[in-house]
A and B are shown apart, each in its own frame.
Chain A
Amino acid sequence: MAKLTMVEAINLALKQEMERDPAVVVLGEDVGKSGGVFRVTQGLFERFGDGRVVDTPLSESAIVGVSIGMAAYGFRPVAEIQFEGFVYGAMEQLISHASRIRTRSRGRYHCPLVVRMPYGGGIRAPEHHSESNEALLVHTPGLKVVAPSTPYEAKGLLVSAVRDPDPVIFMEPKRVYRAIKEEVPEEEYSIPLGQCRIATEGKDVTLIAWGAMLQPTLKAAALMGERGIGSEVIDLRTLSPLDDDTIIESVKKTKRAVIIHEAPRTCGLGAELIARINEKALLYLEAPVERVTGFDTVMPLPKLEQHYLPNAERVVEAIDRVLSF
């Protein structure tokens, strides 16, 4: 089995889905001849032609708006927003139309659309190229939000996203794009949306992370392991809808939890997770659930970003706090 990076795994998923279903089209800025600024769509233009892999004008609102119209007509567009910080121009189309057309038309129209976008910090990029805005999207009823953490996960989740009948925002952790390689089957497989995965089992504390935060979380779990503490690491995978059952079951077992995300703290997804844990497992808790997050500030430029992004050390400190509460 070939070892692939996340970029290669996503590329493979796109290629296979386009081969399987002629309704799948890829569109966005620089996705065609150039193969995308991260080369995620490399080779697709040559393989499928300019009718199915389309370089669009520099026009985020139109990229999403046009995709909604195509989806209503029977296509399955996979649109790329080049960086998460540029999605704001398309937010009106996402919030006011993509997420609602099924409700507004009472099912006469729906919107099988995937919006792929690289997100998150850690690659020394300029302003607007390092943000984590998943909470804005998770807060929008009618959208599904997915954030894969590894190459294998990315391929399986993207296949499900493309086949889903509703709009899915597919947030790709750009820090992971080429950072890790793992075995990714060439054969078709899919990972269902709405189910998280237990990355490592443990009995002492539950650590919940997604996307690029999985790696520092696993590192923290390993460090704790050296001290004899067993961490159960949950890779959230789908941020909306959330898979409460797996989370609650784990927290009931470990009685302690730490949530790690690089997005700002206030009203981040961590807050929602804590609310659900409180609703469903309060009496099992031995300590308040901790959050390790970005700050409620603008994402700093590269020279300071390492201070902003949660790392294994910060996760270890938080675990120590919940253990010693």
Chain B
Amino acid sequence: MINCSRIKKYGNKFKIILENARVTFISRWSRRAEKSSREKGAAMPKKTIQTFQVEWLQILDEHGNCDETLRPSLSDKEIQKLYEWMVLTRTLDEKAFKLQREGRLGTYASILGQEAAQVGSAFALQPSDWMFPSFREAGASILRGLPPRMILQYWSGDERGSQIPEGQNDFPITIPVGTQIPIAAGAAWAAKLRGDRIAVMTYLGDGATSKGDFHEGLNFAGVFSLPVVFLCQNNQWAISVPLSRQTRSKTLAQKAIAYGFDGIQVDGNDVFAVYKAAKEALEKARAGHGPTLIECLTYRIGDHTTADDASRYRKAEEVEAWRKKDPIDRLKKYMANKGLWNEAYHQQVATAAREKVEAAVKEEEAIPLPDPKDIFRYTFGELPEELKQQMENFLRGDGRPDL
């Protein structure tokens, strides 16, 4: 017969033994676990703390098809203006190229193929905004108000072409690649400190994104949330070096993410997309919401400059493929569909552009040589004694070949 009470007693004892064993085991286990966790480190699985996406914006494709839901609100007149500026830009560009070949102009950097990127972006600027060009922005500059004569004057080797007219808040051409970027950030900072509701736009190319000043300028703009738009014309070639040698990034736009602001890639041959992105970015800047990087994916149809021969390093097929994406051609197709373009209108626009450019050439070529004193005149606000002496000796004829 089973002594229940005994069972109970032993059972209880057994329970206690089991319980003790469990406690011992758990505490040993947890000590071991602690030790093991000390050895291995705590469990902290990797987690995603930041993701990013880059938007692509195209509104008008190469066949002239337009997404009307995305199209920026522009009157028919404004669309024609965009077209006319692009035609004028190309006419000036072609003429400059010819003049160089005829020996009537110095080295010139063509913008052929980039008309939409320049006209679309500059069209979104207000006169009170500031603009800092690189050296391939003839289109943006004339739209801002620079007389075409001055573009030719500059490239013919006359610094008077860089004397931006009063009231036009633009900097002269900047040749060392990317160095205008921190300067533009500085102007934006100044505007912000003054409380001026303006924006600054600076132009740069794909090559510039490899420069230290790109990083320093964009980083600065990000840190201080400055009202500046970085307009990158990714024309895919820095002289002979292709984009793949500038970056491993899939886009240039994504570089903005690292600086803490928005970057967007747009079809740079689509004037609507460029205008829309630029307009939104400029409005954002003026409203105090910081900088934007806009990457305009485009293509340098011409050589780097008139001193270059791009056939040495890139395939004709590549150029041809991009010619088919021509920015003016696609806008023309769109406008024709809308009844905004016909041959008579085109003739009128082309003739006006030609006449304007011919007048600019005539005007430029009639300008007398600069005064040799100009070498000295602008070095300082007031010429120091030694420099005055150098100028006087020079004017007296010391070593002057023409005297």
Instruction: Check B384–A59 contact: CB distance below 8 A.
Output: no
Give CA–CA (A57, B216) in the complex, Å: 9
Instruction: Check A66–B220 contact: CB distance below 8 A.
Output: yes
Is B8 interfacial (CB 8 A cutoff)?
Answer: no
Is A324 interfacial (CB 8 A cutoff)?
Answer: no
Instruction: Check A105–B179 contact: CB distance below 8 A.
Output: no
Give CA–CA (A243, B389) in the complex, Å: 13
Please give the distance in Å from A19's CB to the nearest CB on chain B: 17
Is A185 interfacial (CB 8 A cutoff)?
Answer: no
Is B296 interfacial (CB 8 A cutoff)?
Answer: no
Give CA–CA (A64, B179) in the complex, Å: 11
**A18-74 interface with B by 8 A CB criterion:** 25, 51, 56-57, 59, 61-62, 64-74
Knowing A65-B217, A106-B163, A194-B384 touch, does A75 contact B190 (C-beta < 8 A)? yes
Instruction: Check A165–B381 contact: CB distance below 8 A.
Output: yes
Instruction: Check B220–A56 contact: CB distance below 8 A.
Output: yes
Residues from chain B with a CB closer than 8 A to the CB of A59 are 216, 219-220
Give CA–CA (A97, B132) in the complex, Å: 13
- The answer, among A68, A69, A73, A242, for a CB contact under 8 Å with B386, is A242
Identity of the chain A residue whose Cβ is nearest the Cβ of B188 in the assembled complex: A69
Instruction: Check A70–B163 contact: CB distance below 8 A.
Output: no
**A241-280 interface with B by 8 A CB criterion:** 241-245
Identity of the chain B residue whose Cβ is nearest the Cβ of A64 in the assembled complex: B182
Give CA–CA (A245, B385) in the complex, Å: 10
**In the complex, per-residue mask of B185-229: 1 if CB is within 8 Å of any chain A CB, else 0:** 111111101100000000000000000110011011001000000
Residues from chain B with a CB closer than 8 A to the CB of A104 are 159, 162, 172
Give CA–CA (A72, B185) in the complex, Å: 12
Residues from chain A with a CB closer than 8 A to the CB of B374 are 106
- The answer, among A109, A244, A245, for a CB contact under 8 Å with B171, is A109
Instruction: Check B387–A92 contact: CB distance below 8 A.
Output: no
Instruction: Check A107–B184 contact: CB distance below 8 A.
Output: no
Residues from chain A with a CB closer than 8 A to the CB of B384 are 194, 241
Residues from chain B with a CB closer than 8 A to the CB of A71 are 186
For chain B, what secondary structure do more than half of its interface residues adopt (helix, strand, loop), or is it mixed?
helix
Instruction: Check A65–B380 contact: CB distance below 8 A.
Output: no
Residues from chain A with a CB closer than 8 A to the CB of B57 are none
Residues from chain B with a CB closer than 8 A to the CB of A68 are 182-183, 186
Instruction: Check B219–A69 contact: CB distance below 8 A.
Output: no
Instruction: Check B190–A108 contact: CB distance below 8 A.
Output: no
Residues from chain B with a CB closer than 8 A to the CB of A107 are 163, 378
Knowing A241-B385, A241-B386 touch, does A105 contact B187 (C-beta < 8 A)? no
Instruction: Check A65–B183 contact: CB distance below 8 A.
Output: yes
Give CA–CA (A107, B187) in the complex, Å: 17
Residues from chain A with a CB closer than 8 A to the CB of B181 are 65
Residues from chain B with a CB closer than 8 A to the CB of A105 are 162-164, 171-172
**In the complex, per-residue mask of A108-127: 1 if CB is within 8 Å of any chain B CB, else 0:** 11100000000000000000
Counting contact residues on chain A (CB < 8 A from B), the size range is: 35 or more
Give CA–CA (A244, B179) in the complex, Å: 35
Is A151 interfacial (CB 8 A cutoff)?
Answer: no
Instruction: Check B183–A69 contact: CB distance below 8 A.
Output: yes
Give CA–CA (A144, B380) in the complex, Å: 9
Residues from chain A with a CB closer than 8 A to the CB of B219 are 57, 59, 62
Give CA–CA (A91, B191) in the complex, Å: 25
Instruction: Check B185–A65 contact: CB distance below 8 A.
Output: yes
Is A181 interfacial (CB 8 A cutoff)?
Answer: no
Knowing A72-B171, A106-B163 touch, does A66 contact B185 (C-beta < 8 A)? yes
Instruction: Check B187–A73 contact: CB distance below 8 A.
Output: yes
Knowing A106-B159, A108-B163 touch, does A96 contact B176 (C-beta < 8 A)? yes
Please give the distance in Å from B50's CB to the nearest CB on chain A: 20
**In the complex, per-residue mask of B261-302: 1 if CB is within 8 Å of any chain A CB, else 0:** 000000000000000000000000000000000000000000
Is B39 interfacial (CB 8 A cutoff)?
Answer: no
Give CA–CA (A173, B392) in the complex, Å: 36
Please give the distance in Å from A65's CB to the nearest CB on chain B: 3
Is B347 interfacial (CB 8 A cutoff)?
Answer: no
Is B317 interfacial (CB 8 A cutoff)?
Answer: no
Identity of the chain A residue whose Cβ is nearest the Cβ of B382 in the assembled complex: A165
Give CA–CA (A142, B213) in the complex, Å: 22
**A215-265 interface with B by 8 A CB criterion:** 241-245
Is A132 interfacial (CB 8 A cutoff)?
Answer: no
Identity of the chain B residue whose Cβ is nearest the Cβ of A105 in the assembled complex: B172
Q: Which of B194, B219, B386 has the most CB of A within 10 A?
A: B386
Give CA–CA (A127, B191) in the complex, Å: 38
Please give the distance in Å from B131's CB to the nearest CB on chain A: 12
Instruction: Check B186–A108 contact: CB distance below 8 A.
Output: no
Instruction: Check A70–B186 contact: CB distance below 8 A.
Output: yes
Besides A69-B188, A70-B189, A104-B162, 13 new A-B residue pairs in contact (Cβ under 8 A), listed by A number? A57-B223, A59-B220, A65-B186, A66-B217, A68-B182, A69-B185, A70-B186, A92-B179, A103-B378, A104-B159, A106-B374, A142-B380, A243-B385
Interface, chain B (partner A; CB < 8 A): 130, 159-160, 162-164, 166, 171-172, 174, 176, 179, 181-191, 193-194, 212-213, 216-217, 219-220, 223, 374, 378-382, 384-387
